[in-house]
Each structure stands twice: as C-alpha cells, then as structure tokens.
Structure 1
Amino acid sequence: MLKRHGWSWQQPARRAIERDDEAVELPGHIHFIVQPAGTEDMARFDAFGPALQVAMGEARCFPPAVEVERV
C-alpha cells in the first residue's frame, strides 16, 4: 500500500530524550460517559456528536447516577 501511494517507510533516527517510558507503558485512566441525547438536546445546545457531549458536560447536564450505575 505504501508503494502504491508513492510513500516510503519512515523510522525515527533516534528515540526522543524527553520520552518517559513509564508514562508511555502505564496507561492512565479513560472515562467513558454514556449520555443519552435527543433532538431536544441538539436544538438546546446547537450541536451534535462529540461537540454536543462536550456542551452538555460544560453545562453540567449529566444523567442521574442511578442510570449511570445501570450501565
């Protein structure tokens, strides 16, 4: 595929000095928020997709804890 597009395999000449191997190998924590959103929410925040989720989070518009625990 690389040759077909005229690309070549590139590899860094050296490893970055600033690289923190422990930070790279040990993953942090990732938060997944299951947040239902409907057409009313899209109209209210004038957004959709990830931008809607961000807008709802900034407005502190979260689902009840009971619903989150069910997931």
Structure 2
Amino acid sequence: MNQTDLERAALCWDELADEELNRKLIDAKHGSTQGHSARVRIYRRTAESIRLEIKTGRPHCACCLSPEKPYRALS
C-alpha cells in the first residue's frame, strides 16, 4: 500500500468510528448502548495504528500500537 492508500484507510476507519458513535446515540434513545463504545475505541485505534505506519514506515499493532516485528520466512 502506498501512503495515499494508507491515509484513505485511516480516514475510512475514522468515519466508521463516527458512524458507530452516531448509532450509539440513536440506540441510547431506545435504552441500549451495548458494545458501541468498544467498537468506537477499536476503530479509532486502528486508524491510529495506520497513521503510525505512515509516519514510521512500519506496521503497528492496533491493540498496543507497538511496531510489528519484521517478518522472517521459515526455511
């Protein structure tokens, strides 16, 4: 993926988080917010990990944001 694709992907994850937040507000009017907050956090964290990849050139874990270890092929 090139930088433009990564930037677009991060924006898509942010948009998904915004949509989920809106769903949370709508569902709250009906008495339910189950799971929405966790999904918003996951989507935002994924966008953040992509932005770190753009900045550093290395993929980062969406859970802990640490850089992924270089891949070593098994021989």
Same fold by TM-score greater than 0.5: no
Q: Which has the higher contact order (CA 8 A, sep 6+)?
A: 2
Higher-Rg structure is: 1
Larger helix proportion, structure 1 or 2? Answer: 2
TM score, norm. by length of structure 1: 0.18
TM score, norm. by length of structure 2: 0.18
